[in-house]
Structure 1
Amino acid sequence: MTSLTRLNLHENQLIYMPPSIALLSGLKVLTMQSNGIHVLPKPLCKLYKLESLDFSYNGMKKLLPYVGSLSHLRSLILAENELVELPIQTGRLKKLELLMLNKNKLDILHPTIGQLCCLTTLSLSYNRLTEIPSELYDLTNLKYLALDHNQLAYLSGAISSIKLACEIRLDNNLLTELPNSIGSLKSLQILSLGGNVFRELPDFLTALRSLKDLWVSEEHIFCSDGSSPSWIVDISGLTQLHIDNQPKRNLPDVVRLQGIGVVVDWIIRINDSRRSSSLSLTHFGLSECPYAPYRNLTSLDISDNKIGALSIEVLDLPTLVDLNVSR
Structure 2
Amino acid sequence: MTEAKQKLSDECYTSNGTVCLNLSNRGLKKIPAKAFDIKKLGFLCVSDNELHSISDFLEAAKGLKYFVANNNRIESFPKSSINLYQLTCLDLSFNRLREVPGSLESCKSLKFLNLCSNSITEIPDFCFSFRRLEVLSLGSNRIKCLPEIGSKNWTLKSLVLESNCFTELSGSVCNLVALQSLRLNGNSLTSLPRQLDSLEQLQILRLDNNKFEFMPCQIFDLESLVELGLSHNQISEVPEEIAKLARLDILNLSFNNIEELPNEIGYLSELKNLNAEGNPLQLIPTSLARLGCLLELNLGKADLTEFDENFCFCSNLRVLNLASNGILFLPLEFSNLKILSILDLSSNGLEIFPEIIATLPALEVLLLGDNRLTDVSDELGRLKRLKQLTLENNDFEEFPQSLCELESLQVLNLTGNRLANLPDDFKKLRQLRILQLPGNAIEEFPDVLCRMKQLEQLDLAGNRIAQLPEDLKQLTCLESLNLSNNNFSDFPTEVCVVPALRQLRLHQGSGKKLLQIHEDIGCLDLLTHLDLSDNELTSLPETLGRLTQLRDLLLQNNRLKVVPDAVRQLKSLNTLKLENNLIAYLPRSIEELGGQSVNFNAEGNPSKVPPAEIVFGGEVKPIGAFVHKYDEREQSLVKRMIEAIQYRIDKADFRHLFRKLGVSEDRMTAIEKEFKGKEKSKERIPQGFLAWQEEKSHLATSGELIRILHLIGLTKMSAELRSQKAVTDMIRL
Question: Which position in structure 2 is the counterpart of 1:106?
Answer: 350
For 2:278 and 2:503, locate their aligned partners in 1 and report how far apart those are by CA, in whole Å.
Answer: 44
Q: Is the 8 A contact 1:167 1:188 kept in 2?
A: yes
Give aligned-pair identity as a percent: 27
Question: Which position in structure 2 is the counterpart of 1:260?
Answer: 501
Question: Which position in structure 1 is the counterpart of 2:28?
Answer: none
Please state how far the C-alpha of 1:146 moved relative to its aligned partner. Answer: 0.5
1:237 maps to which of 474, 477, 482: 477
For 1:20 and 1:290, locate their aligned partners in 2 and report how far apart those are by CA, in whole Å.
Answer: 58
Describe the shift of the 1:85–1:211 C-alpha distance in structure 2 as closer, same or farther (beyond 3 A).
same
Please state how far the C-alpha of 1:301 moved relative to its aligned partner. Answer: 7.5
Describe the shift of the 1:326–1:154 C-alpha distance in structure 2 as closer, same or farther (beyond 3 A).
farther
1:210 maps to which of 447, 454, 470: 454
For 1:241 and 1:193, locate their aligned partners in 2 and report how far apart those are by CA, in whole Å.
Answer: 11
Q: Is the 8 A contact 2:272 2:294 kept in 1?
A: yes
Please state how far the C-alpha of 1:282 moved relative to its aligned partner. Answer: 4.3
Q: Is the 8 A contact 2:377 2:402 kept in 1?
A: no
Please state how far the C-alpha of 1:98 moved relative to its aligned partner. Answer: 0.5
Question: Which position in structure 2 is the counterpart of 1:128?
Answer: 372
AA partner of residue 79 (structure 1): A
2:373 aligned counterpart, secondary structure: coil
AA partner of residue 178 (structure 1): L
AA partner of residue 235 (structure 1): L
Q: Is the 8 A contact 2:507 2:535 kept in 1?
A: no
For 2:533 and 2:377, locate their aligned partners in 1 and report how far apart those are by CA, in whole Å.
Answer: 51
Q: Is the 8 A contact 1:113 1:135 kept in 2?
A: no
2:362 aligned counterpart, secondary structure: coil
| Structure having the higher Rg | 2
Question: Which position in structure 2 is the counterpart of 1:201?
Answer: 445
For 2:506 and 2:306, locate their aligned partners in 1 and report how far apart those are by CA, in whole Å.
Answer: 51
AA partner of residue 348 (structure 2): N
2:362 maps to which of 118, 129, 133: 118
AA partner of residue 201 (structure 1): F
Is 1:64 paired with 2:308? yes
For 1:11 and 1:290, locate their aligned partners in 2 and report how far apart those are by CA, in whole Å.
Answer: 39
AA partner of residue 35 (structure 1): N
What are the Cα deviations for residues 101-146 of structure 1, in whole angstroms up to 9, with x where unaligned? 1222111123211110000011001111111011122101001011
Question: Which position in structure 2 is the counterpart of 1:41?
Answer: 285
Q: CA RMSD in A?
A: 3.8
For 1:289 and 1:198, locate their aligned partners in 2 and report how far apart those are by CA, in whole Å.
Answer: 22
Correspondence 1:2-41 to 2 at 5 A: 2-41=246-285
How many equivalent residue pairs?
290
Q: Is the 8 A contact 1:40 1:62 kept in 2?
A: no
Question: Which position in structure 2 is the counterpart of 1:174?
Answer: 418
Correspondence 1:311-322 to 2 at 5 A: none
Question: Which position in structure 2 is the counterpart of 1:145?
Answer: 389
For 1:205 and 1:91, locate their aligned partners in 2 and report how far apart those are by CA, in whole Å.
Answer: 35
1:168 aligned counterpart, secondary structure: strand
For 1:78 and 1:266, locate their aligned partners in 2 and report how far apart those are by CA, in whole Å.
Answer: 35
Describe the shift of the 1:34–1:222 C-alpha distance in structure 2 as closer, same or farther (beyond 3 A).
same
Is 1:91 paired with 2:331? no
Describe the shift of the 1:31–1:290 C-alpha distance in structure 2 as closer, same or farther (beyond 3 A).
closer
Please state how far the C-alpha of 1:231 moved relative to its aligned partner. Answer: 4.7
Q: Is the 8 A contact 2:295 2:318 kept in 1?
A: yes
Q: Is the 8 A contact 1:75 1:98 kept in 2?
A: yes
Q: Is the 8 A contact 2:381 2:403 kept in 1?
A: yes
Which structure's relative contact order is higher, taking Cα pairs within 8 Å and 6+ residues apart? 1
Q: Is the 8 A contact 2:381 2:405 kept in 1?
A: yes
1:103 aligned counterpart, secondary structure: coil
Please state how far the C-alpha of 1:211 moved relative to its aligned partner. Answer: 0.8
1:217 aligned counterpart, secondary structure: coil
1:106 aligned counterpart, secondary structure: coil
Please state how far the C-alpha of 1:245 moved relative to its aligned partner. Answer: 3.3
What are the Cα deviations for residues 71-106 of structure 1, in whole angstroms up to 9, with x where unaligned? 111110112222222223222211100001122211
Describe the shift of the 1:218–1:113 C-alpha distance in structure 2 as closer, same or farther (beyond 3 A).
closer
Describe the shift of the 1:27–1:177 C-alpha distance in structure 2 as closer, same or farther (beyond 3 A).
same
Question: Which position in structure 2 is the counterpart of 1:317?
Answer: none
Q: Is the 8 A contact 2:305 2:325 kept in 1?
A: yes
For 2:443 and 2:520, locate their aligned partners in 1 and report how far apart those are by CA, in whole Å.
Answer: 31
Describe the shift of the 1:137–1:99 C-alpha distance in structure 2 as closer, same or farther (beyond 3 A).
same
Correspondence 1:246-325 to 2 at 5 A: 260=501, 263=504, 281-282=518-519, 291-292=535-536, 302=540, 304=542, 308-309=561-562
For 2:374 and 2:297, locate their aligned partners in 1 and report how far apart those are by CA, in whole Å.
Answer: 28
AA partner of residue 99 (structure 1): L
Structure number having the greater helix percentage: 2
AA partner of residue 73 (structure 1): L
Question: Which position in structure 2 is the counterpart of 1:322?
Answer: none
Please state how far the C-alpha of 1:261 moved relative to its aligned partner. Answer: 6.7
Question: Which position in structure 2 is the counterpart of 1:50?
Answer: 294
Gap runs ≥5 in structure 1:
294-299, 313-324
Describe the shift of the 1:69–1:174 C-alpha distance in structure 2 as closer, same or farther (beyond 3 A).
same
AA partner of residue 40 (structure 1): I
Q: Is the 8 A contact 2:389 2:409 kept in 1?
A: yes
Please state how far the C-alpha of 1:25 moved relative to its aligned partner. Answer: 1.6
For 1:302 and 1:114, locate their aligned partners in 2 and report how far apart those are by CA, in whole Å.
Answer: 52
For 2:446 and 2:533, locate their aligned partners in 1 and report how far apart those are by CA, in whole Å.
Answer: 34
Gap runs ≥5 in structure 2:
1-244, 523-529, 546-559, 564-580, 583-694, 698-733
